[in-house]
Chain A
Amino acid sequence: MAKKDTINALIRRGLDEEIAEKLAEEGLLLGDVRSASKEDLTEYLSDEEAKEVVNKVGKKKKKKKKKKKKKKKKVDDEKLEEIYDDKFEGLDGTAKKIKELSESKGYHMSHSVIKRLSEGIDDHEISEDEYEDLLEMVNERLNNRKIDSKESVGIVGAQSIGEPGTQMTMRTFHHAGVAEIGVTQGLPRMIEIVDARKVPSTPSMEVHLEEEIKGDKEKAKKIASRLEITRLKEIADVEIDIAETCVTIKPDKGRMKKEDIDIGEIAKKLNKKRGIKGEVEREKDAIKISVEEGKFSLLYETVEESKETKIKGLKGVERGVIRKVNDEYVIYTEGSNLEDVLKMDGVDMEKTITNSPTEIYQVLGVEAARKSIIREAKDTLDEQGLEVDIRHIMLVADVMTNEGELNAIGRHGVSGRKTSVLARAAFEITSQHLLRAAILGEEDKLDGVAENVIVGQPITQGTGAVKVKYTNPSKKDD
């Protein structure tokens, strides 16, 4: 049996059946073949065959991978420069001027700095000399805000968010924010963001409309009504007829017109609904669902089921409220379904947003999720009147997203998935982590802080990370 498995495994890796059989006959297993060198194999096979085996099965990939990686990095650097230059292509004269001037002076200014600077300058007339002075000042301020290498940004960030966090009220103010829609705020909301919950306790969307119709209240209302879930009971009277064991549905004409649906559509939806086990018949102004005679419990079930039937709207969106924000109608929703909203006509895909980073991650990807975390956290803190430097929040968002997916901070996320055994053991359930590590023979590179504290070494940050060396003073030039 084992022989057969070996042969199959070898064939799957691209070997001839003949060679595979030969190897298996010698009692070799897949692992043996993989680690065997060409010389080992020539004992059983011809030179050429051994070469083939080593190429196809052997552990040859390491060297090639390294080469590839190096090449990739080079390309990436070039690409980055390209992207950097591309970003300036569309910018107007001022930005270009600033960029050239700052480069000639050897300043390193990021794209966003230059862009914002040029936007600020555009309204004023500035002479050449003033340009230079201005750039010098900006450069100095930029350098002042730079952080030393080896600085413990994580700890500083954690404290800078944690301390204002203690000041946040435990009370949640519902009804704060938008009109009638309450959004979780304060500490509970902060915890929610950092935990990367699947669904926040109050999911909500901000639906913006396309340029042409954003000032049109009627169109906004129409879109809002298409978003909202409408159930049958809201637009129709559902009556029960025990004598004939049937359910009669009489839709309200006014409501139907308002919601823009006709009776045929309702009948279709009822037909599709799985819970309804009767025969759906359309009459002139009503719909009849007849159930098997004598089965009264089924009849009552049918009534309840049909009442709850979704006639229109998006899954999860309970309510939509229209609000005018700077000459523009925006729909705020209770409940969230970003994916379907973006597919709708008349919706501005670029501006429409939900308050759930997880949903944004699923629909738009990690980078968008990162931005969403920053936005939500900043908004929550701002709402409470707490000022936290945006870079602390950005760091949190980076930590949560740097693996390409959304990770929560805490046991199930970042802390529980650290590469270092000792760091994980220091966090929670120490003995289990250590036992597991011992069984698996895990290795700890002692790269992090917690590990080095446990071992009793200087940590790898700040002063502890600096390596000093002797310089011969007589050889110094300056």
Chain B
Amino acid sequence: MMMNKGYTRFEKARIIGARSLQISMGAPTLLSIDDEKALDPVDIAIKEFEKGVIPITVMREEE
């Protein structure tokens, strides 16, 4: 389970979920989506996550 930036799969899901909610409600996307065929907010959020541009992180108890 090698993860992007060391996020667990739960954290990844949560971040993408939060971001796609923003996008679905009309937030401006952080990447250009001109060449994208799909307009699914979740797809866009995943792309943004992979590029690492989502301005959301996770609060952890330890560390």
B27 within 8 A of A: no
CA–CA, A111 and B17, complex, Å: 40
B25 within 8 A of A: no
CA–CA, A146 and B2, complex, Å: 10
Q: Are B56 and A469 in contact (CB under 8 A)?
A: yes
- Nearest B-chain residue to A149, judged by Cβ: B8
Q: Given A146-B1, A150-B8, A466 and B58 touching (CB < 8 A)?
A: yes
Smallest CB separation, A107 vs chain B (Å)? 15
Q: Are B11 and A471 in contact (CB under 8 A)?
A: no
Q: Which of A148, A465, A471 is the most central at the interface, judged by chain B CB atoms within 10 Å of its CB? A: A148
Q: Are B59 and A467 in contact (CB under 8 A)?
A: yes
Interface size on B, residues (CB 8 A): 17
- Nearest B-chain residue to A462, judged by Cβ: B10
Within 8 A of A (CB), among B1-22: 1-2, 8-11, 13-15, 17-18
Smallest CB separation, A391 vs chain B (Å)? 15
Smallest CB separation, A447 vs chain B (Å)? 13
CA–CA, A332 and B11, complex, Å: 53
Q: Are A468 and B1 in contact (CB under 8 A)?
A: no
B57 within 8 A of A: yes
Smallest CB separation, A178 vs chain B (Å)? 43
Q: Are B9 and A471 in contact (CB under 8 A)?
A: no
- Nearest B-chain residue to A472, judged by Cβ: B55
Interface size class of A (residues with CB under 8 A): 10 to 19
Smallest CB separation, A462 vs chain B (Å)? 5
Q: Are B59 and A463 in contact (CB under 8 A)?
A: no
Q: Are B14 and A468 in contact (CB under 8 A)?
A: yes
- Nearest B-chain residue to A467, judged by Cβ: B59
Q: Are B57 and A469 in contact (CB under 8 A)?
A: yes
Per a CB cutoff under 8 Å, which of A143, A144, A467, A473 touches B58? A467
Smallest CB separation, B38 vs chain A (Å)? 23
Per a CB cutoff under 8 Å, which of A144, A463, A470 touches B10? A463
B33 within 8 A of A: no
Within 8 A of B (CB), among A126-167: 143-144, 146, 148-151
CA–CA, A471 and B58, complex, Å: 9
Q: Are A468 and B10 in contact (CB under 8 A)?
A: no
| Chain B positions within 8 Å of A473 at CB level | 53, 55
Q: Are B13 and A463 in contact (CB under 8 A)?
A: yes
| Chain B positions within 8 Å of A151 at CB level | 10
| Chain B positions within 8 Å of A466 at CB level | 10-11, 14, 58
Q: Given A466-B10, A468-B18, A473-B53, A148 and B58 touching (CB < 8 A)?
A: no
- Nearest B-chain residue to A466, judged by Cβ: B14
Smallest CB separation, B5 vs chain A (Å)? 10
CA–CA, A472 and B15, complex, Å: 15
Q: Are A148 and B8 in contact (CB under 8 A)?
A: yes
- Nearest B-chain residue to A465, judged by Cβ: B10
Within 8 A of A (CB), among B40-63: 53, 55-59
Smallest CB separation, B28 vs chain A (Å)? 13
- Nearest A-chain residue to B14, judged by Cβ: A466
Smallest CB separation, A53 vs chain B (Å)? 42
CA–CA, A25 and B20, complex, Å: 72
Smallest CB separation, B56 vs chain A (Å)? 5
Smallest CB separation, A458 vs chain B (Å)? 10
Within 8 A of B (CB), among A454-478: 462-463, 465-473
Q: Given A467-B58, A468-B56, A473-B55, A144 and B14 touching (CB < 8 A)?
A: no
**Interface 0/1 of A179-196, CB less than 8 Å to B:** 000000000000000000
CA–CA, A366 and B13, complex, Å: 40
| Chain A positions within 8 Å of B10 at CB level | 148, 150-151, 462-463, 465-466
A/B interface sample: 11 pairs, CB < 8 A = A144-B1, A148-B8, A462-B10, A463-B14, A467-B58, A468-B18, A468-B56, A468-B57, A468-B59, A469-B57, A473-B53
5 shortest interchain CB distances as A-B pairs? A148-B8, A466-B14, A467-B59, A463-B10, A473-B55
Interface residues of A (CB under 8 A from B): 143-144, 146, 148-151, 462-463, 465-473
Extra contacts besides A144-B1, A150-B8, A470-B56 (18): CB < 8 Å: A146-B1, A148-B8, A151-B10, A462-B10, A463-B10, A463-B14, A463-B17, A466-B11, A466-B14, A467-B59, A468-B15, A468-B57, A468-B58, A469-B57, A469-B58, A469-B59, A470-B55, A473-B55
